[in-house]
């Protein structure tokens, strides 16, 4: 399950997002910038598991990469 917890805000673009994911298998379902504003997500957006054992960041090439 993916839950968006932050959308934009001070110091971020309108399409900056933060997500809590249930498991690492959810990463393949995270949004990227496809040109569709419904699924748009800017580089620098992050996703993490509830226990913070895994964290991902969306790179400039719109690929989610694990950083923790």
Tens-digit pLDDT profile for residues 9-24: 899 888 899 999 999 9
Tens digits of residue pLDDT in 21-54: 999 999 999 988 766 666 788 999 999 999 999 9
pLDDT band at 3, cuts 50/70/90?
A: very high
**pTM of the entire predicted model:** 0.86
Pairing of the two strands 17-21 and 46-49 = parallel
Per-residue model confidence (pLDDT) at position 32: 80
Q: How many helices (H) and strands (E) does the chain have?
A: 0, 5
Q: What residues are paired with 60 via a beta bridge?
A: none
């Amino acid at each position: 399950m993916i839950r968006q917890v932050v959308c934009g805000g001070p110091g971020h673009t309108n399409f900056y997002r933060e997500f809590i994911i249930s498991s690492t298998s959810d990463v393949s379902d995270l949004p990227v910038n496809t040109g569709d504003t419904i699924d748009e997500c800017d580089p620098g957006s992050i996703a993490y598991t509830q226990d913070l054992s895994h964290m991902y960041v969306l790179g400039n090439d719109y690929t989610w990469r694990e950083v923790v």
